[in-house]
Chains A and B, each alone.
Chain A
Amino acid sequence: MWYRIIVIAEWFGEMAERYRLIRDFNKAAKNSFIAGKAPTLLESKITKGESNYRHAFSKFLGGGFRIKALSGRPLNQGELVEIGRVVLDNEELVRKLIALGWDTLEVHANEGYKGVKWPLKDFANIGGYLN
């Protein structure tokens, strides 16, 4: 019985952590855009992700972490790839994304259906988990 309560509490804690991460990202992106550091306003949101990129911690219909350009200067393909590479180079963030159930990183432009995506499992340092 207690085990079940703990599991339910953990699930709610995990969901809260997921939404906290999204909120922190959006807040930082908004501040950066307002301060004039960023030419384009970015927004992150949860999508269903790519089924081929699934791993053991993937959330059902919530495995995609999408960064979308909202307004400002349109981003080209190279800039989209660069945004993705910055996120993937941040090992702590990638580990956190995987642990919280995301399996796909998507970066989308503000116009059309242009976008790039990566499987997060390929960029996680597994040894880091064990330490």
Chain B
Amino acid sequence: MSNLLLQIKTDTTSIINDANEIAFISYWFWIALCEFAFIIYLIIRLKSKKSKLAFSDLGKESVKNAKTQSIDMENLMDSINGARTLYKELSRKCHPDRFVNTPKEKIAQEIFQEITKNQRNFEKLKLLKEKAINSLNINF
């Protein structure tokens, strides 16, 4: 008799434990659902923000060529270190005011415009220097 009573008691305890476990699971289920909804909201917000950014109308294909374009780093370094000095020298010596009322006035104007346009490109400035030496007979 005492054994039977003990068995009933144990069964009741296990039923109560199961009920607690179900309540516990549903609690975590709602938390996970809220987190999932929040993640979805963040993704939508990120997407909408990205569509408002600059260049968002450009496709990936249109910038593919720019990615693989080779850059002349030697020229970049020369431009950083020497373009300013060379530009000052060229702009002083090739200024169109030095060639007023001479047949070289138009060439000087063209060269000066090119010099101003490429004032931070060492390679182009070197070519323009050679052009100035040949066409304007300037000694540097």
Contact = CB atoms under 8 A, between A and B. Distances in A.
A17 B62 contact: no
A31 B73 CA distance: 11
A90 B70 CA distance: 12
Given A29-B77, A86-B76, A92-B69, A98 B83 contact: no
6 residue pairs, one from A and one from B, having the closest CB atoms: A28-B73, A99-B66, A99-B63, A55-B54, A56-B56, A32-B77
A83 interface: yes
Interface of A: 14, 17, 21, 24-25, 27-29, 31-32, 37-39, 42, 54-58, 82-83, 85-87, 89-90, 92-93, 95-96, 98-100, 121, 124, 126, 129-130
B113 interface: no
Contacts, number: 91
Contacts of B4: none
A130 B62 contact: yes
B75 to A, nearest CB: 9
A75 B7 CA distance: 88
A42 B73 CA distance: 13
Given A55-B54, A85-B120, A38 B71 contact: no
A100 B68 CA distance: 9
A25 B74 CA distance: 9
